[in-house]
Structure 1
Amino acid sequence: MNEKMEMNQDEMEIDLKDLFNALKKKIVPIAFTSIVFAMIGLVLATFIIPKQYSSEATIYITPRISEQGSIDYNSIQTNSRMVNNYMQILQGETITAQVAEKVGLEDYKEVLDTLTISNATDTELIDIQSTTTDPQLAYEIVENTISVFNEEMLDVLRIDNLAVINEPKVNENPVSPSRSKFTLIGFAVGLIVSAGIVTVYYLFDNRLRTREAAENYLGIPVLATVPYKR
């Protein structure tokens, strides 16, 4: 009989309906826990996690104008091929070290860590963005990056066809952390944790609640039941 009981016990499966009912019975504490975690996420995003501010600008590599006053399309192709080179130069130590000195940072890597240099596909536009905990510093990094880059291009490579079409600004609105995002993440974590605890409790609860469960567990038919009143 013991062998049969062990076999039946191993063959027992999770009753999804019972699990759903167990979760349903605990809906209030689950909801409460989710709301508490959501509030924790909101507090973290509002008061604990440092706010990040961003400033950005866009450089346009202008095409050459021919003597007849028309656009030199060969220069457009040349500019397109040079975009990646310019992006590498912008992130190089030659530029970032000078920027670090101008904005009062000790090392060029501190500037590089804040910079994001990107290019829209098939364009001669280069976007320069700096993200820091200080909106003024972010602005100064972008402003000086453009200034130093233009000077280096003119002095070293004699390139003077760079135009700033989107000037950097001091942005007082933080770009992160997102309060709504952290609130939703907190709610989701609270929901998962509380539902997980209920599920684990259900899986490790070996009490037999129904006649069918008792018969499956014992391997013998139940002859009678005794009503239980709380």
Structure 2
Amino acid sequence: MDIKRAFVILLERWWIVAVTLVIGIGAAIVATLVTPPQYTSNAQLFVSTTGGTSSTESYQGDQFSQQRATSYAQILTSEILGQRVADALGLNLSGSAVAGKVTATVVPKTVLLDVSVTDSSADRAADIANTLSDEFIAYIVPLETPTGQDQARATVTIVNGAEAATSPTTPKLATYLIYGAAGGILIGILLVILVATLDRRVTKRSDAESLTGLPVLGPVASVTRSPEGRRTQLDKWASPDAEAFRKVRVHLQSIPTGPQVILVTSSSAKESTVNFSVDLAVALAESDHRTVLIETDSAHPAIAEQLSLHASAGLVGLLADTADRPDTPDHIVAPTTDRYLDAVPVGVGLDATPMLSTTAMRDLVETLRKSYSYLVIDAPPLSSSGSAAVLAGLCDGTLLVIDTKLARDRDVAAAVRELQGSDARPIAAVLATSSRRR
């Protein structure tokens, strides 16, 4: 995944980062409220050596003090010294518990020792730090005094005594907020990357082109309209989505072979193409070409209601009635309010699937060819029915509709393989974004 692609994905799913950012900030506030406050008191000690008046002796003494300071830092955090502090202050704590509150560090390139004590009580932290300093000085005197001598080779002096802190060291709301916000953003970015990796939807033109090997049209908005919305559309289609379908129409009309019978299908059962088929038929009829829309998905009949068509037997009734089938389209189709657009709803009561491969269906298509410039046949998805593959042999070309919200790459790839295995003559793939409009 390149940087540009990653940036686009972040922009598309920015809300995930926003949610994790809010959660991170909320967690920081909660952590601040529930975390017991801790106070830190600091003392500073100075290590020096005795003797020596020349510059060489002074330098050697300074080196000796620095070496000693490193060792002293270890002693200051020892359990033995911690126990001495606990006994001196009468604390109900073990030596290791007191030592765990102590941090001792050597100031680089100096003979200074910084001693920090952290405790839930500011006063107790200061008492421990000051007592620790006193006990430490008393503890090292015999260690640094050679046998038979009265003077220690190194001495420690308190430079700055510890004072009770006026504000807690932790928790700091500002610090927690920074960590919470940074953590929230980082987790959000990781979630976006994970979702993008696991999301196998076909949303980009380049993805559709590589999967189908076809020209890719769109994107178009496949809108579910109410009967009133369809009437408005047929009267004057002025909504923003109209222009995208007009571009699809121009592409179809520019094909040298001039497909007259156009099959519309999709890859998976979740993708309905009925709205796309109606909009495409309306766009073709807009150019003053007589167009008929044929619905074949009896499992999900829709166009009779959407186009407010008069009750009729529909496609299944026509194909089932073999005794008296008319040879003219007037008795077959239902007119809409657009004089250039007619429709053949699928009808109810019977399953259309087994009838689509009959001679009756072929004869119907051939009859309609004589009276209409365009036939738009809406077929069920390829994965849920073999109807599309059967109907492909009756058509001049196929449009594979890819719903960018629902289509998965494996389904699209399988649909292309099925189309290639039939006499489908695919024209193009169309990226469609499904939406609902009342």
Matched, 1:180 2:174: yes
Q: What does residue 224 of structure 1 align with?
A: 428
C-alpha displacement of 1:78: 4.3
Of the candidates 188, 196, 216, which is equivalent to residue 194 of structure 1? 188
**Distance of 1:119 and 1:106 partners within structure 2:** 27
Of the candidates 147, 160, 163, which is equivalent to residue 166 of structure 1? 160
Q: What does residue 151 of structure 1 align with?
A: 138
Change (3 A) 1:196 1:166: same
Letter in 1 for 2:46: Y
Q: What does residue 45 of structure 2 align with?
A: 59
CA contact (8 A) 1:100 1:110 kept: no
Change (3 A) 1:18 1:123: closer
**Distance of 1:115 and 1:173 partners within structure 2:** 19
**Distance of 1:152 and 1:40 partners within structure 2:** 45
Letter in 1 for 2:40: S
Letter in 1 for 2:88: K
CA contact (8 A) 1:53 1:176 kept: yes
> Which TM-score applies when normalising by structure 1?
0.74
**Distance of 2:78 and 2:431 partners within structure 1:** 81
Q: What does residue 24 of structure 2 align with?
A: 37
C-alpha displacement of 1:122: 3.2
Matched, 1:215 2:419: no
Question: Which structure has more helix as a fraction of its residues?
Answer: 1
The runs of 5 or more residues in structure 1 that have no matched partner are 1-13
C-alpha displacement of 1:174: 1.7
Letter in 2 for 1:129: S
**Distance of 1:40 and 1:130 partners within structure 2:** 28
- Structure-to-structure mapping, 1:8-47, within 5 angstroms: 20-44=7-31, 46-47=32-33
**Distance of 1:196 and 1:90 partners within structure 2:** 43
Q: Per chain length, whose mean CA-contact separation is higher, i.e. which structure has more relative contact order (CA < 8 Å, sep 6+)? A: 1
**Distance of 1:196 and 1:124 partners within structure 2:** 47
Q: CA deviation digits over 1:90-141, x for unaligned, max 9?
A: 3344422110122313311011111111212332222221112221221111
Letter in 2 for 1:127: D
Change (3 A) 1:227 1:212: closer
C-alpha displacement of 1:17: 5.0
Kindly name which structure, 1 or 2, has the bigger radius of gyration based on alpha carbons.
Answer: 2
Indicate the larger mover: 205-214 or 99-108: 205-214
Q: What does residue 109 of structure 2 align with?
A: 122
**Distance of 2:47 and 2:3 partners within structure 1:** 63
CA contact (8 A) 1:19 1:202 kept: no
Q: Cα RMSD between the aligned structures?
A: 3.3
Change (3 A) 1:185 1:61: closer
**Distance of 1:152 and 1:18 partners within structure 2:** 65
**Distance of 2:62 and 2:195 partners within structure 1:** 68
**Distance of 1:109 and 1:76 partners within structure 2:** 32
Question: Which structure has more strand as a fraction of its residues?
Answer: 2
- Structure-to-structure mapping, 1:67-82, within 5 angstroms: 73=58, 75-82=61-68
SS in 2 for 1:176: coil
C-alpha displacement of 1:144: 0.9
CA contact (8 A) 2:69 2:113 kept: yes
**Distance of 1:35 and 1:64 partners within structure 2:** 60
CA contact (8 A) 1:138 1:170 kept: yes
C-alpha displacement of 1:163: 1.9
The runs of 5 or more residues in structure 2 that have no matched partner are 146-150, 216-425
Q: How many residues end up aligned between the 2 structures?
A: 214
Letter in 2 for 1:216: S
Q: What does residue 124 of structure 2 align with?
A: 137
SS in 2 for 1:109: helix
C-alpha displacement of 1:211: 4.8
**Distance of 1:96 and 1:53 partners within structure 2:** 18
Change (3 A) 1:117 1:193: closer
**Distance of 1:200 and 1:218 partners within structure 2:** 26
**Distance of 2:159 and 2:6 partners within structure 1:** 60
* Identity level (%): 22
**Distance of 1:145 and 1:123 partners within structure 2:** 21
**Distance of 2:132 and 2:116 partners within structure 1:** 10
